[in-house]
Structures are given as structure tokens and as C-alpha cells.
Chain A
Amino acid sequence: MAWSKPVLREIECE
């Protein structure tokens, strides 16, 4: 797996 910019995704509630 290549490096990529990590993304934060907040879970609203699931």
C-alpha cells in the first residue's frame, strides 16, 4: 500500500 494523505471522517451518530 502506498502512502497517501490520511483523511478524518467523523461519524455523526451507525
Chain B
Amino acid sequence: MSPEDIPVIPRGVRLHEDRVRGSWVLLAPERAIRLDPIGHAILSEIDGSRSFGAITAGLAAKYNAPEEQIAKDAGEFIEGLMNRRILEVA
């Protein structure tokens, strides 16, 4: 992921709150991903218009953590979802 990339949650994919288990699930056609709180925080920042750089800067401020670390972890997370065809990059 480069800072200019804009991650997009495509049509047909959505976040679902599993209130029974107290966690969030990313629902895609015929598959689902259970999210930990950090994964949910990353996906909550994706609105289809903000760049990856803006998202990681926001998360770095929110978690008071090094932006390089967040960019690495969030980039691998998003790429994992792209490889599963659950996320796209505009």
C-alpha cells in the first residue's frame, strides 16, 4: 500500500456488529471475517475517499503509536483483505 492509495469497501461488503459475541464481522458474499478491535478500527477509517496515508496518520494520532508501525500493520491487513477480494483500491 502506498500513501496515495485509497482503499474502498466495495458494494456487497459491509461491517456487521455481532452483539452476541461482542465483536465485529466483515461480511462479504459467501465469506466472513471476524475482526479484532484493531481490525475494526482500521476498517472504520475507510470511507472510499481518504487515502491510506491519511488513514494511518489518523490512527497514529488516535493510538499514540509510530505511524511507520501502523502503516506496516494496517498495510498488511488491507492487503490481506485485497487478496481475498474483500477490499479494493481506487
Q: Give chain B's interface residues, CB within 8 Å of chain A.
A: 25, 31-39, 42, 59, 63, 65, 69-70, 73-74, 76-77, 80-81, 84
Contacts and interface: CB of A to CB of B under 8 A. Distances in A.
A4 B41 CA distance: 11
Nearest to A9: B34
Contacts, number: 47
Interface of A: 1-11
> Is chain B's interface secondary structure helix, strand, loop, or mixed overall?
helix
B69 A3 contact: yes
Nearest to A4: B38
B73 A6 contact: yes
Contact of A6 (B25, B31, B74, B84): B74
